[in-house]
A and B are shown apart, each in its own frame.
Chain A
């Protein structure tokens, strides 16, 4: 068993780190303040191949492994959690389900643009009444001639404000419950499709979260993704993949918090010496670093599991559960170490703690992760 990064993983890390430090970090506070979707950055990431890293080369991606992917997301998240989730959603929640479930024709039509960043993608599962209880979809899809007519709303959809391609879940057979859910590839320009309320968020501001409104939205039948009724299974498998991205994002946010504390603790002097010379601070920093390392290993193991095993739900859930909760702990500690200054917008940690919270909620709350993990253990 090797813990060393391969040559390509090292090179990915170097490139992603440089890109994050030079292109993303200088803009991260402004993105947070303005809440404006960083479309230019998304395009830049696309041109480097960061928006469809794992898509096969024949379809415009790089075909890299999931470990490489998590390394890139972690570095991006270190600079901006919002930009990281934009990339993660595109990679894990849009490209991935297409790679796994789309027909050859659908793949050719959608993946090249998504992989190159020419078009952005979104994943539309969550509804006002369907969060953790994702199975009780209210959006319906009725087959009519060569089309499906979709009616319903989705909320909290990342990238929504700027995406062109949406994976939408809707009920095609209500009687079957979750087994009656189907997945569709919906384009922004389809009649009856519109973006609704744009959310004002606590954190990951600028990630384009908005409501999707389908009002007799007409989707061509050839845009059904997978078979009718396969939707819920597709959603769950996709979320398994997405959670690894979120876990990597959480590690990145926590790493940023740690680096801020390392700097600040040696600059800030009280009682005649840097606060980093006091044990209380030293222990907080030690705990942060240890937990970050543990989370990172869980993320990489989950990534490895996805690449080598048929089922990786448990690994992904553990990584996401631990990384997100640790990220919250770390960012809270980070604000504490910064004291009053950490409570002002002058300091990065004020944003990091706001960014951290969502990692415990989206793509399956910590409670859902615990359900998944225990579900596999107590049969």
Chain B
């Protein structure tokens, strides 16, 4: 693999490399640049150095038998006899990758009485569906699922295997990766084929989303990734698409089971407090009344978010105090904060201005809230908010 080397000749100890390193792996001591053990040879410093003092030297290893690995597979996650949305999205992604590689798309379907789902997978882009249908694997469990897929991979030698980054995929994929000594990249948000090497380029967030990293598995095959749900675009279902269905035979023994499932409970996710909400729709003076909050609630529900309120809304009794956002209420940092009919006083802004994305809807074009908003709409929230709810539903993005 690759290693970072420092060449002292042109180095002026300017420190640009130290600043550029996301891992804090460089340090200037006297007139030397020290490379610490946390270096991953990512090359960020090489890009930052204006004097060509740093170089990543690759130790080329032979790609053992990689030429024999073909096809892009998707683990077709299903629960209770229904294909997960992410599985269908991944087929869309796999289709694009396979096209570039001039290879085919495979789907691995495991469960009980699920063979009927194979057709749906084919309609959504799979060329071959490998089915393992057995009562022992009706519900997901690490042991048997890892066994089936590992044996299948060893037999069929795919080039790429994709899993949804779900509670199943993130439990399953690493187990298989370890068993078969494969590289695995977690929670990818972008997958492309490198033009030169034909390797899979796997891009994913790190450091809590503050940095994006593009990862490769140059040597091990198949290349495996878990992929974040909701990112990839599925193919439209084509009922005329044809494909193969292959039944897989694997002997699942008692000792393969390992973990026993006693009960499965469906439960709506309740957040403990507003500070944990990923999406908040908040109402202020412009809402006008307690009944006015109905449209705010509907938008929040549609987005799978929570309801917030400004101090005015709380003081007027339109919403309870535990929803208050602001200097004397809660400080929130959701991914999305929609401020409806909120003027944006400094007290309110103090409670929400670090939100990742702020949308402001207000009748007054000079409202202070527009100064911190990423997107602003001048209009009456009583028109805009219901229209927004409808637009979200129409785009198929409603969580309700």
A residues adjacent to B (C-beta < 8 A): 29, 263, 267-268, 341, 345-347
Cβ B347 vs Cβ A346 within 8 A: yes
Q: Which of B299-354 contact A (CB under 8 A)?
A: 327-328, 346-347, 349-350, 353
Cβ of B208 to closest chain A Cβ, rounded Å: 19
A267 to B344 CA separation, bound complex (whole angstroms):
12
Selected from B327, B349, B353, the residue in CB contact (under 8 A) with A347 is B327
Q: Which residue of A lies closest to B330 (CB)?
A: A26
Q: What are some 12 contacts across the A-B interface (CB < 8 A)?
A: A263-B350, A267-B346, A267-B349, A267-B350, A267-B353, A341-B346, A341-B347, A345-B328, A346-B327, A346-B328, A346-B347, A347-B327
* Number of A-B residue pairs having CB atoms within 8 Å of each other in the complex: 14
- Chain A residues within an 8 Å CB radius of B347: 341, 346
A341 to B345, CA, bound (A): 11
A29 to B330, CA, bound (A): 13
Q: How far is the CA of A205 from the CA of B353 in the complex (A)?
A: 31
CA distance A29 to B327 in the complex (A): 11
Residues on A with beta carbons closer than 8 Å to the beta carbon of B350: 263, 267
Cα A345 to Cα B346 in complex, Å, equals: 14
**In the bound complex, CA of A341 to CA of B327 (Å):** 11
Question: In the assembly, what is the distance between CA of A65 and CA of B328, in Å?
Answer: 38
B372 → chain A closest CB, angstroms? 10
Q: Which residues of A lie under 8 Å from residue B328 when comparing CB positions?
A: 29, 345-346
**Can you name 12 extra interface pairs (CB under 8 A) apart from A263-B350, A346-B347?**
A29-B328, A267-B346, A267-B349, A267-B350, A267-B353, A268-B346, A341-B346, A341-B347, A345-B328, A346-B327, A346-B328, A347-B327
Bound-state CA distance A341–B346 (Å) is: 9
Q: How far is the CA of A29 from the CA of B36 in the complex (A)?
A: 46
Q: A346 vs B353: C-alpha distance in the bound complex, in angstroms?
A: 17
Smallest CB separation, B77 vs chain A (Å): 37
Closest 9 pairs (CB-CB, A-B): A346-B327, A346-B328, A346-B347, A268-B346, A267-B346, A267-B350, A347-B327, A341-B346, A267-B349
Q: Give the residues in chain B near A267, CB-CB below 8 Å.
A: 346, 349-350, 353
Bound complex: CA of A345 vs CA of B311, how far in Å?
13
Whole-angstrom distance from the CB of A274 to the nearest CB of chain B? 11
A268 / chain B contacts, CB cutoff of 8 Å: 346
CB distance from B296 to the nearest CB of A (A): 23
How far, in whole Å, are A70 and B327 apart by their CA atoms in the complex?
30
Inter-chain CA distance A267–B347, complex, in Å, is 10
Per-residue interface assignment for chain B, residues 352 to 391, with 1 indicating a CB less than 8 Å from any chain A CB and 0 otherwise = 0100000000000000000000000000000000000000
In the bound assembly, the distance between CA atoms of A345 and B349 in angstroms comes to 17
Q: Name the A residues within 8 Å of B353 (CB-CB).
A: 267
Q: Chain A's nearest CB lies how many Å from the CB of B171?
A: 31
In the bound complex, CA of A346 to CA of B327 (Å): 6
- A residues less than 8 Å from B349 (CB atoms): 267
Chain B hits for A263, CB < 8 A: 350
Closest A-chain residue to B353, C-beta based?
A267
Contacts of A346 in B (CB 8 A): 327-328, 347
